[in-house]
Amino acid sequence: MRSLLLTLVAFCLAFSPCVRAEDARTAALTTADDARVAATKSADREKLAAILSDDLRYAHSSGTVDTKQSFIESLTTGRTKYVALDYEERAFTFPAPGIALMTGRAHVKVANATGEVDMLLSFLSVWREENGHWRFLAWQSCKLPVPAAPQR
C-alpha cells in the first residue's frame, strides 16, 4: 500500500503544472547562463550586451565591482580574460516572480595584467526576467580554499 501511495505522489508531482513550469524556467536559465559563460570567455560584445542586464552589478571575488559597461569593456579590451569558467555545482531557485537565484561553485581561471589567477569560487547570482527574456543582473563570489592534497 505504501509503495502505491508513493507511486501516486510521484506521478502527481511529475505532471504538476508547477513542477513543469519550474523545469522549463531552469532549462531556460541553464541555456541563458551557458550563453553568458561562452560570451564571457570569447569576449563577444554583442552577446554580452544582449544577456547582461543594464542594471548589472558584478562583484568579483577580489572586491572589484563592475557595471555592465565596465565589465564588457574589461573583457573586450583584453584587460581581463576568462580562460576557464567551469561549474562544479549550479542550482536555480525562484524566490519571486521574474527573479531567479543561481548558486554554486565554479572553477575559474582569469588572466589579467598581473598574470593568471586560478581559483575555486562559491557564488550567488541573480537573474531577472526583462521583456520576456532572462537577463543576468548580479554576481557575488568569494574564493574558497584549495582542497588539501591527499596525504600518503
Which residue from 144, 140, 142, 143 is spatially nearest to 58, judged by alpha carbons? Answer: 140
Q: What is the DSSP letter of 105?
A: E
pLDDT tens digits for range 54-71: 999 999 999 999 999 999
Please report which residue ranges of 43-125 form alpha helices under DSSP H: 45-51, 68-76
Residue located via cell numbers 598581473: 114
Distance CA(38)–CA(45), nearest Å, equals 11
Sign of torsion over alpha carbons 31, 36, 41, 43: positive
Q: Kindly report the pTM of this predicted structure.
A: 0.82
Is residue 65 a contact partner of residue 33, using CB atoms and an 8 Å limit?
no
Of 3.40.50.300, 3.40.50.620, 3.10.20.30, 3.10.450.50, which CATH number belongs to 14-144? Answer: 3.10.450.50
Position 150 confidence tier, pLDDT thresholds 50, 70, 90: confident
pLDDT tens digits for range 25-49: 999 999 999 999 999 999 999 999 9
- Any idea where the domains of the chain sit in the sequence? 14-144
